[in-house]
Structure 1
Amino acid sequence: MNRILVVEDHAPLRDQIAALLLAAGWAVEEASDGRLGLQLALAQPPDVLLLDLGLPGLDGVALCQRLREQADRHVPVLMLTARDSLDDKRQGFGAGADDYLLKPFASEELLWRCQALARRGELGRSPVLRCGPLRIDRRSAEVCGTAGQVLPLPPQAYRLLLVLAEAWPRTVSRSELHQQLWADEPPESDALRSHLYTLRQALGPDQGLVKTVHGVGLRLSPPA
């Protein structure tokens, strides 16, 4: 599931965009001001950042500039604004935007552009993640452990490990894990505990990599 961060201070429009993206199968995170938007984008880089320009706290151009300076990977940025002059567009692209969409916009076009940016971001990202002794191949959904053997991970246990690996070294809260694994359809039982147990059993000698941070969530802790 692709993740998108919507940074827009106009609540009705933000709600409209979030509903559109959720219906299309995206995991949506929201921010109403520039400082919070930058904080969220750096803490867990989304697959696409949908960015308004006229934001309180930190405007969209400054946010994009700081993101390009501080992020450890390229986050595709779609600027969404009513500013339609050539100079406005020059500033947006100069700050590091990947695309620019004028308000008002057609819902279908917004989705097309977000999907295209997500694909572009995926092409620039290595398909293989390494975390300590683990090797996670996103293409084949295979995980290799210390001895190089492929670990028998069920789909949700694999997804749990992938979320933790992509967030490393950050601790991922239980609420965020629920959102990543089940979006808006959380299971009735404590399925996270069950998938965590399955993951640790499958990791065998590497199960100590998955740490519980009490009162916070889970994180991977590979040896230095």
Structure 2
Amino acid sequence: MRVLILEDEPDLAEAVRDGLRLEAIAADVAGDGDSALELLDLHDYDVAILDRDVPGPSGDEVARRIVAGGTGPLVLMLTAADHLDDKASGFELGADDYLTKPFAMRELVLRLRALARRAERHRPPVVEIAGLRLDPFRREVFREGRYVALTRKQFAVLEVLVAAEGGVVSAEELLARAWDENADPFTNAVRITVSALRKRLGEPWVIATVPGVGYRIDG
């Protein structure tokens, strides 16, 4: 299991990280919301442990973006906000669990493992097409047996294309399904992301452009 810890108190963040590593749980630390979002874009996490009151985008905003993405990690709020209304608002954001400070490390570990079991029960099937092997649960992609490292956005785009089973997906549909509702419809983000994705997957190109229509998996 790999988790992200969003916590702006360095001593607490280090203590949690070290405690989780002793339990064979890999953990990365972000001290502010912007760093957390960058790490979420670079790595695939099973659970995001979020403090709510942090510099930059709040833990609530980070949770909101994870939930809006649809395929991100599970969310565990770890915060001093312990009133029932605080917990209710956290769950309304889409949090999967809520633990208040101070807490016992053993309880945190038990909750993380329970979340991992829940995710395992809902594990989506591995998909293979055109020499690609896409595992939505582990967030892994292989091409002809070679592991391909992708950003979260690149993975999201590839997942939509693979789900189309060779059908054409328009840039507008990719924007709607791989970005959030605040995405600029006139942006060239889709073209840039598909171009980068092609390069990551390598030659011969497996993503074909259908001029004026969209993109599809070729082969």
> Structure 1 residues 24-33 or 37-46, which shifts more?
37-46
> Could you tell me which residue of structure 1 aligns to residue 30 of structure 2?
31
What does the per-residue CA deviation read over 1:90-113, in whole Å, with 9 as the maximum and x for residues that have no partner?
A: 111111100000111111100000
- Separation in structure 2 between the aligned mates of residue 121 and residue 14 of structure 1, nearest angstrom: 25
- What is the aligned length? 160
> What secondary structure sits across from 1:54 in the alignment?
coil
For structure 1, the 5+ residue unaligned runs are: 152-159, 171-212
What letter corresponds to residue 28 of structure 1 in structure 2?
A
Q: Residue 75 of structure 1: CA displacement?
A: 1.7
The 4+ residue runs of structure 1 with deviation greater than 6 A are: 136-139, 143-146, 165-168
Map residues 184-195 of structure 1 onto 2, 5 A cutoff: none
What letter corresponds to residue 220 of structure 1 in structure 2?
L
Instruction: Go from structure 1 to structure 2 and tell me whether the alpha carbon gap of 1:131 and 1:50 turns closer, same or farther (over 3 Å shift).
Output: farther
Aligned: 1:119 with 2:117: yes
> Structure 1 residues 129-138 or 97-106, which shifts more?
129-138
> Could you tell me which residue of structure 2 aligns to residue 22 of structure 1?
21
> What secondary structure sits across from 1:77 in the alignment?
strand
Map residues 147-158 of structure 1 onto 2, 5 A cutoff: none
Match of 1:223 among 199, 202, 206: 206
- Separation in structure 2 between the aligned mates of residue 76 and residue 63 of structure 1, nearest angstrom: 12
What does the per-residue CA deviation read over 1:8-30, in whole Å, with 9 as the maximum and x for residues that have no partner?
A: 00000000000011111122111
Normalised by the length of structure 1, the TM-score is 0.61
Q: Residue 76 of structure 1: CA displacement?
A: 0.6
> What secondary structure sits across from 1:111 in the alignment?
helix
Asked if structure 2 preserves the Cα contact closer than 8 Å seen for 1:133 and 1:145, the reply is yes
Normalised by the length of structure 2, the TM-score is 0.62
> What secondary structure sits across from 1:68 in the alignment?
helix
Asked if structure 2 preserves the Cα contact closer than 8 Å seen for 1:18 and 1:28, the reply is yes
Asked if structure 1 preserves the Cα contact closer than 8 Å seen for 2:40 and 2:152, the reply is no
Aligned: 1:63 with 2:46: no
- Separation in structure 2 between the aligned mates of residue 111 and residue 62 of structure 1, nearest angstrom: 24
Q: Residue 6 of structure 1: CA displacement?
A: 0.6
> What secondary structure sits across from 1:84 in the alignment?
coil
For structure 2, the 5+ residue unaligned runs are: 156-195, 208-219
Asked if structure 2 preserves the Cα contact closer than 8 Å seen for 1:79 and 1:100, the reply is yes
Map residues 61-210 of structure 1 onto 2, 5 A cutoff: 61-69=60-68, 71-130=69-128, 132-135=130-133, 161=147, 164=149, 169=154
Q: Residue 135 of structure 1: CA displacement?
A: 3.3
